[in-house]
Structure 1
C-alpha cells in the first residue's frame, strides 16, 4: 500500500513538472474583467484554459498596471528579443487590440486570438439629453473621462476647448457623476456598462448611445513563437467562457 501511494505521488509530481506554465497578464482591472478576488471574466478565462488544458499547461493570472505591461513588452515591441537578447516567451495578454499602443508592427509582431467583440459607448443621463452619432455631437458638453485614457476624435475637440473634459479614477465614479448631472456624458466599454447596470439598479436610469464611439475586438495576445499554445487556443470554443 505504501509503495502504491509513493508511486501515485511520484507520477503526480512528474505531471506537475511536465506542465508548461504561462503568465496571463491583464491591465483591465475593472468590471466585468475583474469584479473582486477570483471573480470576473479574466478569472473565467484562466479557469477555462486550465480545465481544457488537462494538465498540459498551467495558466496564472497577473493583474498589473499598463505602464508595467509596457515595460515587460518593450523588448518584444522593439524586436530586441529576436536579435540581441533572449526573452521569456511564456506569457499572454487578455482583452487587448492591436491598435492600442503595441508598436507599429503589432499585427505581425504578435499573435492575436479573438476573444470578445466590444465597443465604447457614450453614456448620458437620458436619451433626451442629446443623440450621439459622432464626436462633434459632444461639442459644448461636459464629458467625464478616465484619467490617462485617450479618446480618438474627442481629445482634439477637448484640446481646442470645444468639449470640457474632467477625469475620474474609476468607471463607477464617472457613472455617478453622470447620474448626478454634474457632467453631460461619459465614455465606457459597452461590456462594462452592461455589467454595472445589472449589478446597480441606480445605473439602469442611464442611457447608452445606439451609435458606438468605437467598435473593436478584444483579443488574447502572445508571440508567434508559441505555436503550440496558439494551436491550443484555436482548438477551443472560447465563446463557452461567456455562456
Structure 2
C-alpha cells in the first residue's frame, strides 16, 4: 500500500490530488454560452479558471449545464456553487440571499432584429402593433406582455434564437427579440452576411456576472472575485471574446 501511495504521488503531485472540486453551473442552453458539438463560452471560461496561473491546481472547477428549474432548486437548497452569466434582476431575492456577485463580465442587450427589406425601429410597444414578434419559449418580455395579451402584438415562440433568426431571414416573422451575444456569434458562424437591421433602441440591457452562493467557502469566493476582476487585462480572455464575436460587449452596459 505504501509503495502504491508513493507511486501515485510521483505520477500525480499532491497539489493535483488535493485539488478542491467546485461546482460551476450554467443555464444558458444556446450559443455562444453553450454549443452542440464545439465548446461554448461557458466551457472555455471554466477551462480558463482551471488553468489560470493563480490557481495552480488548488481548485477543480466542474461545469454542469442545468435547466432553469433545476438551477433554482439548487439555489433554494443553498448548495455551494458558482453560477455563470447571471443577472441579479433575473433572480428573486429568496434564491440569491447572501450570495456574492462579481463585477460584470459582459454587457448583453436584448435587441429587436428585423430584415433589411422591412426594418423595424422600436419606440415603445405601440411601434410593434400589428407585427409578428419572434420570441423564445419561457422568456418574459415585461414591457410588451400587456400588448401581447391584448393581441396587439402577435408573439410567435420558438425554442432558440437560431430558429428565430432563420424565420426572420425567410420573412416568416417581422421582428425578433434576440440577445446581442447570440446575434454576434451567429454573424460569425451561421449567417455572416445576413441582411439584418438592428433597432437603435433595444428592449433592455443587462450585465452578466458570476454569482457565488453564500455556502461557498470564503477563500473560494475571494479567489473567483479576484480572477474575474483581472479578466479585462487577460490576453486569453480577450482572445476568447474575439473567438465568439463578443469583443464589443465589454461591461458595464451603456445607457440608452
The verdict on a shared fold, with TM-score over 0.5 as the criterion, is: yes
CA distance in structure 2 between the aligned counterparts of 1:155 and 1:193, rounded to whole angstroms? 23
Cα offset, 1:139, TM superposition: 1.7
- Most deviating of 10-19 and 205-214: 10-19
2:167 is the alignment partner of 1:167: no
Cα offset, 1:110, TM superposition: 1.4
CA distance in structure 2 between the aligned counterparts of 1:166 and 1:65, rounded to whole angstroms? 22
2:65 to 39, 42, 63: 63
User: What secondary structure, in the 3-state scheme, does the structure 2 residue paired with 1:140 have?
Assistant: coil
Label 1:183 to 1:203 Cα distance change in 2 as closer, same or farther (>3 A).
Answer: farther
2:221 to 224, 230, 236: 230
Label 1:102 to 1:70 Cα distance change in 2 as closer, same or farther (>3 A).
Answer: same
Extract unaligned runs of 5+ from structure 2: 240-256
Q: Match of 2:21?
A: 21
Q: Match of 1:40?
A: 40
Q: Is the 8 A contact 2:122 2:128 kept in 1?
A: yes
1:19-168 aligned within 5 A: 19-37=19-37, 39-52=39-52, 53-76=55-78, 88-89=79-80, 91-103=81-93, 106=96, 108-113=97-102, 114-126=104-116, 128-168=118-158
What's the CA shift string for 1:147-190, capped at 9, x where partnerless?
A: 11111201121012111101101211111111111111111110
1:197-216 aligned within 5 A: 197-201=187-191, 204-216=194-206
TM-score by length of 2: 0.80
Q: Is the 8 A contact 2:111 2:199 kept in 1?
A: yes
Extract unaligned runs of 5+ from structure 1: 77-87
Cα offset, 1:17, TM superposition: 3.7
TM-score by length of 1: 0.84
